[in-house]
């Protein structure tokens, strides 16, 4: 029950249950069509959240999260269509495109078709191809046969080609004619180095929310495959709010320059949670920009403080708490302290994490109090924050925390992480004891990191870390291997380089661990070189 204050397995269970229809009852004919299994399970998992938790959670935790996961993969250079026969091996297709990107595309499809046609198409598809393997084209044809709508343009853009639109939107209000003019420019360019088919210009319906003194309405317009396009919309007065892509349906990047006042209004007044989230993110960028004035930063900080404590949706309060970490104002601090008492554990945890960045010893008593929270995530962040204060009361409070029972020893691992931040040498025996075999993996991992922080003068510490590192990399124990690698880097001992070099000779080392190992080797080389350089300096 305590664990579920922070997260639960409903997503996993609903995803796997959805595979009864998508993957079992009807399954993909070829690996290139794996999205017919995994994207559907991903999106039906999202629709369970919509049913169980409501629209705001669905939009924030599923629709936006799926889009963000894809955009992160894109920026890292992982770029290909969802449906492609060009893959290295079957395992390679189980990636971001088969899961979150495909889930995001299905959400766009649902919004494009409308609720009635969406369910009509899904029912027809499953009925027609029951107990059969299928291809993507058969799904497209099923939609067309059941709804009468041509879908070749949609499948061509979002499934058979790669990419997404980058929209630059500008707005202009003509007071004489009471007309709002929106100009939409597509800025995406073709990647000439890619072998995959790409979309040059996108076409798609998009919903635009317009708010004036008399109320709010949503207009649906059609984006054409044109570089630039304008829309003229009649309004009764100057718009207070213009939200391009109401409810954040589209996979896109959006450049929409607005004043601080307009963004603040949208962040606090927009009924669309994703509109509020977007406005907050824009203000967050503005407050860290060198061009922002102190007065503007103070104004934004004040707005963030209100959102962190007053917004009706937990995700907004949590995001505002994160944004406040960059603002070292009395108002920001007061709001974060208040947010540590939020009814939602996820907000409390974010608030503590933001407060921790100050490393302020005067907050130690607050963190000690929060070590009694019911949420394991809050306790974890409070232990880390308490250690970072280096307060005299931190050591005893964290050692006491070691003895509290918890699911999978979450609290004990958190106490060890806090001691790692504290860097108190009295914790050496504790670290050696909990790093040893017989403890839970995450406890051993936290103890290893603690040893790395305080064991530089202990031969026993290096010996234990080296032993665990060798076994962990050999047995593909990612949790212990990464913790041991980080500990070796923290120790800065030249003998660690020899050990890591020996481990790297293993030809069966998984690719993910190889990449981490290379990072540890590079970091340790720099650490050892820096230590040697300091030692060679003349007094």
Q: Bridge partners of 252?
A: none
Instruction: Give the pLDDT of residue 537.
Output: 46
Largest CA distance in the chain: 84
H or E element at residue 353: helix 345-356
**Spatial separation of the C-alpha atoms in residues 502 and 8, rounded to whole Å:** 40
Strand 204-212 to 241-244 pairing: antiparallel
Strand 166-174 to 253-256 pairing: parallel
**Spatial separation of the C-alpha atoms in residues 256 and 244, rounded to whole Å:** 9
Length of the chain, please? 539
H or E element at residue 133: strand 132-134
Instruction: Give the pLDDT of residue 437.
Output: 95
Instruction: Give the pLDDT of residue 533.
Output: 61
> Residue 290 is encoded by which pair of tokens?
């060198």
Instruction: Give the pLDDT of residue 535.
Output: 56
pTM: 0.93
Provide the 10 A C-beta neighbour count for residue 380: 24
**Spatial separation of the C-alpha atoms in residues 134 and 89, rounded to whole Å:** 20
Chain position carrying tokens 């307060």: 391
Which residues make Cβ contacts (< 8 Å) with residue 176, sequence separation at least 6? none
Q: Bridge partners of 206?
A: 221
User: Helix (H, G, I), strand (E, B), or coil: what is residue 122?
Assistant: helix
- Residue pair 36/25 in contact (Cβ under 8 Å)? The answer is no
- 325 by Cβ neighbours in 10 Å (0-12 / 13-18 / 19+) ranks as middle
525 Cα distance to chain centroid = 31
* 3-state DSSP of 203-222: CEEEEEEEEECCEEEEEEEE
- Residue pair 370/340 in contact (Cβ under 8 Å)? The answer is yes
What are the strands, taking DSSP E only, across 164-214? 166-174, 179-186, 204-212
Which residues make Cβ contacts (< 8 Å) with residue 105, sequence separation at least 6? 39, 82, 158, 159, 251
**Spatial separation of the C-alpha atoms in residues 382 and 374, rounded to whole Å:** 12
Per-residue pLDDT tens digits of the chain, which is 539 residues long: 999 999 999 999 999 999 999 999 999 999 999 999 999 999 999 999 999 999 999 999 999 999 999 999 999 999 999 999 999 899 999 999 999 999 999 999 999 999 999 999 999 999 999 999 999 999 999 999 999 999 999 999 999 999 999 999 999 999 999 999 999 999 999 999 999 999 999 999 999 999 999 999 999 999 999 999 999 999 999 999 999 999 999 999 999 999 999 999 999 999 999 999 999 999 999 988 877 788 888 899 999 999 999 999 999 999 999 999 988 888 999 999 999 999 999 999 999 999 999 999 999 999 999 999 999 999 999 999 999 999 999 999 999 999 999 999 999 999 999 999 999 999 999 999 999 999 999 999 999 999 999 999 999 999 999 999 999 999 999 999 999 999 999 999 999 999 999 999 999 898 889 999 999 999 999 988 876 666 554 44
Instruction: Give the pLDDT of residue 532.
Output: 63
DSSP 441-507: HHHHHHHHHHHHHH-TT-HHHHHHHHHHHHHHHHTT-HHHHHHHHHHHHHHT-HHHHHHHHHHHT-T
User: What letters, b where the CB count within 10 A reaches 16 and e where it falls short, cover 244-276?
Assistant: bbbbbbbbbeeebebebebbbbbbbebebbbbb
- Residue pair 212/239 in contact (Cβ under 8 Å)? The answer is yes
Give me the long-range contacts of 17-26 (CB less than 8 A, separation at least 24): 18/44, 18/45, 21/126, 25/126, 25/130, 25/131, 26/125, 26/126, 26/129, 26/130, 26/131, 26/132, 26/133, 26/134
H or E element at residue 31: none
């Amino acid at each position: 029950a305590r664990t579920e204050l922070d997260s639960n397995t409903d997503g996993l269970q609903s995803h796997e249950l959805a595979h009864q229809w998508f993957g079992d009852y009807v399954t993909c004919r070829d690996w290139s069509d794996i999205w017919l299994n995994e994207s559907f399970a991903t999106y039906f998992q999202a629709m369970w959240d919509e049913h169980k938790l409501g629209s705001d959670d669905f939009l924030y935790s599923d629709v936006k999260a799926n889009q963000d996961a894809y955009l992160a993969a894109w920026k890292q250079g992982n770029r290909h269509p969802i449906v492609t026969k060009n893959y290295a091996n079957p395992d390679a297709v189980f990636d971001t495109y088969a899961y979150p990107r495909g889930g995001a595309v299905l959400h766009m499809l649902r919004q494009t078709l409308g609720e009635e046609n969406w369910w009509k198409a899904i029912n027809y598809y499953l009925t027609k191809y029951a107990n059969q393997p299928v291809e993507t084209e058969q799904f497209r044809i099923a939609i067309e046969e059941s709804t009468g709508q041509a879908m070749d343009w949609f499948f061509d853009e979002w499934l058979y080609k790669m990419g997404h639109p980058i929209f630059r939107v500008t707005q202009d209000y003509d007071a004489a004619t009471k007309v709002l003019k929106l100009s939409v420019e597509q800025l995406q360019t073709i990647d000439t180095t890619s072998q995959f088919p790409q979309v040059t210009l996108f076409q798609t319906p998009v919903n635009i929310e317009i708010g004036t003194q008399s109320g709010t309405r949503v207009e649906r317009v059609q984006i054409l495959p044109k570089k630039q396009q304008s829309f003229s919309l009649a309004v009764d007065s100057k718009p207070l709010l213009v939200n391009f892509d109401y409810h954040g349906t589209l996979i896109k990047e959006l450049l929409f320059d607005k004043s601080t006042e307009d963004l603040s209004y949208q962040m606090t007044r927009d009924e669309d949670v994703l509109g509020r989230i977007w406005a907050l993110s824009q203000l967050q960028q503005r407050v860290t920009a060198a061009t922002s004035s102190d007065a503007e930063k103070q104004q934004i900080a004040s707005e963030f403080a209100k959102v962190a404590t007053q917004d009706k949706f937990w995700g907004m309060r949590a995001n505002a708490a994160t944004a406040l970490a960059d603002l070292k104002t009395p108002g920001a601090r007061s709001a974060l302290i208040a947010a540590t008492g939020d009814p939602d554990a996820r907000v409390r945890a974010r608030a503590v994490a933001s407060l921790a960045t100050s490393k302020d010893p005067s907050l130690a008593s607050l963190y000690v109090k929060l070590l009694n929270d019911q949420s394991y995530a809050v306790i974890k962040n409070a232990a880390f924050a308490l250690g970072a204060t280096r307060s005299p009361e931190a050591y005893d409070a964290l050692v006491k925390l070691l003895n509290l029972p918890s699911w999978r020893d979450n609290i004990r691992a958190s106490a060890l992480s806090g001691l790692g931040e504290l860097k108190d040498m009295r914790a050496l025996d504790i670290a050696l004891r909990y790093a040893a075999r017989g403890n839970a993996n995450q406890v051993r991992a936290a103890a290893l990191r603690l040893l790395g922080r305080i064991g530089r003068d202990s031969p026993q510490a290096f010996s234990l870390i080296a032993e665990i590192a060798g076994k962990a990399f050999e047995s593909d124990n990612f949790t212990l291997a990464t913790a041991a690698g980080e500990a070796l880097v923290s120790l800065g001992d030249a003998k660690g380089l020899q050990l890591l070099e020996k481990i790297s000779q293993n030809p069966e080392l998984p690719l993910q661990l190889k990449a981490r190992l290379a990072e540890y080797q590079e970091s340790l080389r720099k650490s050892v070189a820096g230590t040697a350089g300091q030692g060679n300096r003349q007094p």
